[in-house]
Structure 1
Amino acid sequence: FLKAHTIHALLDALADAEGALPALPVADSLRRGDADKLMGEVVDREGLYRAQTPQAFRPSTIRAAYAAWSQPDAPTDEASVVQAHGGRVRLVAGEADLFKLTYPEDFAMAERLIPSSERRVTRVGMGYDVHRWVEGDSVWLCGVEVPHTHTLLGHSDADAGLHALTDAILGAIAEGDIGDHFPPSDDRWKGASSDVFLAHAHELVKAKGGQIINVDLTLICEQPKVKPHRAAMRQRIADILGLDLSAVSVKATTTEGLGFTGRNEGLAAQAVCSIEMPA
């Protein structure tokens, strides 16, 4: 709930002070209580403020103050450290909803204050795909053509990696699977590039107000070697989905000669993605 004008007020306050923090005058009546929780004297609240965050300092100021801190107890906040070092800390106008998240009830209050139109949830989807090896001279994997002695059999370009990833995205937004959107019975998709399928799933996410956070894909095969092409695969997926490269993972593993992938009968791919969506 931090507003831009509060940040600007803090920075402006550093013009004639060594530190600044947002603060609110204490509005509640204050009472001292005894050991039996009985009300005692009234505490004058004149000049009392509730310190809030964030607090602002020049880097050299806060570093020097911490370096000089010699008191036995840990400081309660940075402003105390600067003040103890002789610095002046300016109070600027705080905001009621700029409260600290300390206790469980604070988080509950924050949830209530977030407008429903801005609430977000994280969804996770998983995809899995398999294609059979047939004679050929290259194979499409994760949007990259890899030279090989065989190719994968499929109605489209049989890119198992992108198919699994497409299904993972569709699963996260509960939009069925790749066959619902691109049925193999439709000749329009015969030999089609699987880039189209992945881009379509991405468009569906955006249409729902969502955003893909990251994707993780594993190719399961004995051949071809994936590592020499992994960087290109990651980059291609990042380009299609508009993601930073750090949000795209492509891995490969074998099944130690076991199963259909171990016998070089086919290749499998599995993918997981996380998507942030409106609640």
Structure 2
Amino acid sequence: MRKGGEAAMTDSVAAILVAAGRGERAGFSAEGPKQYRTIGERAVLAHTLGVFRSHPRISDIVVVIHADDGQLCENALGPLAERVHLVTGGAERQNSVRCGLEFLADLAQAPRSVLIHDAVRPFVDHATIDRVIDAATTHGGAIPAVPIADTIKRAAEDRTIAATVPRAGLFGAQTPQGFRFAAIRAAHEDAARSGRSDFTDDASIAEWAGTKVVLVEGAAGNVKLTTREDVAAAHERLKRRVPMIDVRTGNGYDVHRLVEGDHVTLCGVKIPHDRRLDGHSDADVGLHALTDALLATCGAGDIGDHFPPSDPQWRGAASHIFVEKAVAIVTAKGGRIMNADVSLICEAPKIAPHREAMRQAIAGITGLSLDRVSVKATTNEAIGFVGRREGIAAIATVSVVYGEIA
């Protein structure tokens, strides 16, 4: 139960980045918390957030910070701070996670699953995240882990060896740790009511509450930055990596048949014609293809997922609405649209007289300058359904930059 009632659930996956620690255990207090230390020209937290923001299966991201770190966090994240949920945490990690879970519960639609990740693990990769999401969805809980390679010794109080611990079956736990949202939230609430604050990770809370938690393959590079040496090593590691710009190309295709009418709408421009395009909306094939191309750059499905033709509210709707929604989704994922190219395939009407108006319409919807928008047209040489003037088709291609990846 959420505060004040039942939370609506979606099939989405949210992430909580735990960044409220002080770093005092490792002697960072004089230099500031380690999640804000610079490695590879960006704060540790910014590197970690970048991995999760670029993952196509993750929707809401909550960054839990210390009450004193608001300005530090904004400085570290820059414009990205406005694209995540910043939540104040508690005195202990366990309390901070619970604050993040409570925030997600109070959203209009709570996620189905949640990933909980240490903000000071900046080298987690998408493959590890995928394994955790898949296993948590199937089993209820999952964590990445790596087999213990070193010989383990148990020490006595005087630091002499008391025993050698067999390492068979021993694993080192990593994050993100993934769970069905309702179950891990209930487990944290039960732990708080029971006065338990001694759990070392979220999996141990889930185990205590009776949730099945499975191990998935972790990654040796997914290290937690704990000491000054760790931070220095991370900085050197990033210096050796050549950063790449995360540029993604999306492609979209649409076709609508022609029926009796008096105009067609193409790329946002109404053109007099002896026929019209048949469709649930205004059947603007150019903007429909452009919508799909934009959604493709961040794995956000297609136009039918967001605007199903079975929904009467879209009957006769202007297709610029669809493109605007796709632009909002891309922007929320951290994307910056770089260009848009639409090719219209039809025998008639003539596109050339209307090309500039179409370019201007697309530029206005996407926020692009005119020189980054292209509209082209070709016939089908009287071949096929287009050649027989039974329909009009469109192909759209866009490029979107989602930031820098290492």
Q: Which letter does structure 1 place at the counterpart of 2:365?
A: I
In the alignment, which residue of structure 1 is the partner of 2:353? 228
Give me the whole-angstrom Cα distance separating, in 2, the residues matched to 1:194 and 1:111: 43
1:213 to 2:213 alignment: no
Question: Equivalents in 2 of 1:205, 1:111: separation in Å?
Answer: 27
Give the C-alpha shift of residue 231 in structure 1. 0.1
- Partners of 2:240 and 2:400 in 1: how far apart? 22
Name which of 265, 269, 273 aligns with 2:390.
265
Quote the Cα distance in structure 1 between the aligned partners of 2:255 and 2:349: 15
Deviation at 1:172, TM superposition (A): 1.2
**Is residue 2:259 matched to residue 1:158?**
no
Task: Give matches, 1:231-250, under 5 Å.
Answer: 231-250=356-375
1:184 matched to 2:309? The reply is yes
Aligned to 1:274: 399
Letter in 1 for 2:385: F
2:383 is aligned with what amino acid?
Answer: L
Q: Which has the higher contact order (CA 8 A, sep 6+)?
A: 1
Residue 271 of structure 2, aligned match among 132, 143, 146? 146
Secondary structure (helix, strand or coil) at the match of 1:134 reads strand
Secondary structure at 1:246 match in 2: helix
Q: Distance in 2 between matches of 1:186 and 1:111?
A: 48
Indicate the residue corresponding to 1:128 in structure 2. Answer: 253
Unmatched segments (≥5 aa) in structure 2: 1-39, 42-237
Distance in 1 (alpha carbons) for counterparts of 2:320 and 2:240: 41
Partner of 1:174: 299
Percent of matched pairs sharing the same residue: 57
SS in 1 for 2:354: helix
Corresponding residue for residue 31 of structure 1:
none
1:32-65: per-residue Cα shift (whole Å, max 9, x none)?
xxxxxxxxxxxxxxxxxxxxxxxxxxxxxxxxxx
* Per-residue CA distance 1:141-181 (angstroms, 9 max, x = gap): 00000111100000000000000000000111110100000
Aligned residues: 169
Describe the SS at the equivalent of 1:240: helix
Residue type of the alignment partner of 2:372: A
CA distance in 1, matches of 2:307, 2:263: 23
**Counterparts of residues 7-156 of structure 1 (less than 5 Å):** 109=239, 111=241, 120-156=245-281
1:78 is matched with none
In structure 1, the gaps of 5 or more residues are 3-107
Distance 1:242 1:158 in 2: 22
CA distances 1:92-131 after superposition (whole Å, capped 9, x unpaired): xxxxxxxxxxxxxxxx84746x7xxxx7400000000000
Distance 2:370 2:260 in 1: 33
- Quick one: distance in 1 between partners of 2:240 and 2:319? 43
Shift of 1:184: 0.2
Counterpart amino acid of residue 126 in structure 1: N
Distance, in Å, in 2 between the alignment partners of 1:110 and 1:268 is 47
Runs of 4+ with deviation above 6 angstroms: none
Among 252, 255, 260, the alignment partner of 2:377 is 252
